[in-house]
Amino acid sequence: MSDFSLWIIVKNLIWATQWTVILSLIAFVGGGIVGMILLFLRTSQVKWLEVPTKLYIEFFQGTPLLMQLFLFFFGVALFGIEVSPWMAAGLALTLWTSAFLTEIWRGCVEAVPKGQWEASASVAMSYIEQMRYVILPQAMRIAIAPTVGFSVQVIKGTALASIIGFVELTKAGTMLNNATFRPFLVYSLVALIYFCLCFPLSWFAKRLEGRLNVAR
């Protein structure tokens, strides 16, 4: 126990925090890109594009993230596809994030008044053009607050990657607990670090939301 001073615990946790941050960024950026593609499919009004997208969203929103991680990590690899904890965690979190972001953004797109669609259609804009020049710029304004808010869920979601052996903040916490036998201290510190990562984002999201309401 003597070789684990408080400082070493803190140092190791902070070191592990970088992986939480990196994994969160991968999931958020990747999820954003996939989510944007899905948003186009989902709002395309083309049945055979919409239905699979809907099922995809249903699957990732309707099953536990933990199950998705297990499936990607242990399940898919059985078929001979190499999956490192990195890939499994990154991929599962990306797909999970994309499903939620698509739904959030779809809500924002639908909040844009119908007249805007009709007006842009009347000047012979294609669907992509309508989205690009008319709908998205307006939807984006309302989308910022819930999107920032969801980033907090992504950061917290990365904690589950610890269960498939990805060494990030939570995993480092359990490892240090095993080496020091000071669970109260270790998990308090882990919680504190997550709080420091998430609270500013939550606060920012709330402020954006408030400002938007005033503007309307």
Partner 1 sequence: MTYHLEFSALLPYWQDLAWGLLFTIVLTVVSTAVGIAVGTLGASARTFGPAWLSGIVRVYVELIRNTPFIVQLFFIFFGLPALGLRLTETTAAFVAMVVNLGAYSTEIIRAGIEATPKGHIEAGVSLAMSRLEVLRYIVLRQAFAKIYPALSSQIVIVMLGSAVVSQISAPDLTYAANFIQSRNFRAFEVYFVVALIYLVLAIVLRYVLRVIGDRFVKVS
Partner 2 sequence: MFTRVTMSGFAALLLASIVGFATGPARADALADIMKAKVIKIAVPQDFAPFGSAGADLKPQGLDVDMANYIAAKLGVKAEIIAVTSANRIPYLQTHKADLVISSLGKNAEREKVIDFSAAYAPFFSGVFGAKSVAVSKMTDLAGKTIGATRGAIEEQEITKDAPKDTTIKRFEDNNATIAAFVSGQVDLIATGNVVAAAITEKNPSRPAVTKFIMKDSPCYVGLNKNEPALLAKVNEIIATAKKDGTLNKFSEKWLKNPLPASF
Residues that bind partner 1 (CB under 8 A): 58-59, 61-68, 70-71, 74-76, 78-80, 152, 156-157, 159-160, 162-163, 170, 173-174, 177, 182-184, 186-188, 190-191, 194-195, 198-199, 202
Task: In angstroms, give the least distance from the CB of 158 to partner 1.
Answer: 8
What single letter denotes the amino acid at residue 136? L
Smallest CA-to-CA distance from 102 within 60, 71, 141 is with 60
Q: Taking CB under 8 A as the rule, does residue 74 contact partner 2?
A: yes
The candidate with the shortest Cα–Cα distance to 155, out of 21, 10, 8, is 21
Residue 79 in the binding site for partner 2 (CB under 8 A):
yes
Helix (H, G, I), strand (E, B) or coil at 177: helix
User: What does DSSP assign to residue 115?
Assistant: H
**Residue 152's binding partner out of partner 2, partner 1, none, with CB under 5 to 8 Å set by partner kind:** partner 1
- The answer to whether 172 contacts partner 2 (rule: CB under 8 A) is yes
Among 4, 86, 127, 204, binds partner 2 (CB under 8 A): 4
d(CA 54, CA 42) in angstroms, rounded, equals 7
Residue 18 interacts with partner 2 (CB under 8 A): yes or no:
no
Burial of 166 (0-12, 13-18, 19+ CB in 10 A): buried
CA-CA distance, 26 to 96, in Å (whole number)? 12
Please tell me whether residue 41 binds partner 2 under the rule CB under 8 A.
no
The answer to whether 208 and 144 are in contact (CB under 8 A) is: yes
Residue 133 or 195: the one with the smaller Cβ distance to partner 1 is: 195
According to the binding rule CB under 8 A, does residue 66 interact with partner 2? no
Q: Read off φ and ψ for residue 63, nearest 5 degrees.
A: -125, 155
Residues 88-147 that bind partner 2 (CB under 8 A): none
* Inter-CA distances, 118 with 5, 40, 115, 124, 140, Å: 66, 18, 5, 10, 19
By C-beta, is 181 or 199 nearer to partner 2?
181
Residue 143 vs 168, nearer CB to partner 2: 168
Binding partner of residue 172 among partner 1, partner 2, none, CB cut-off 5 to 8 Å per kind: partner 2
Distance (Å, rounded) from C-alpha 126 to C-alpha 141? 22
Min dist CB 91 to partner 2, Å, is: 13
- Which residues lie near partner 2 (CB under 8 A)? 1, 3-4, 8, 12, 15-16, 51, 54-55, 58-59, 74, 76-84, 163-165, 167, 172, 174-179, 181, 183
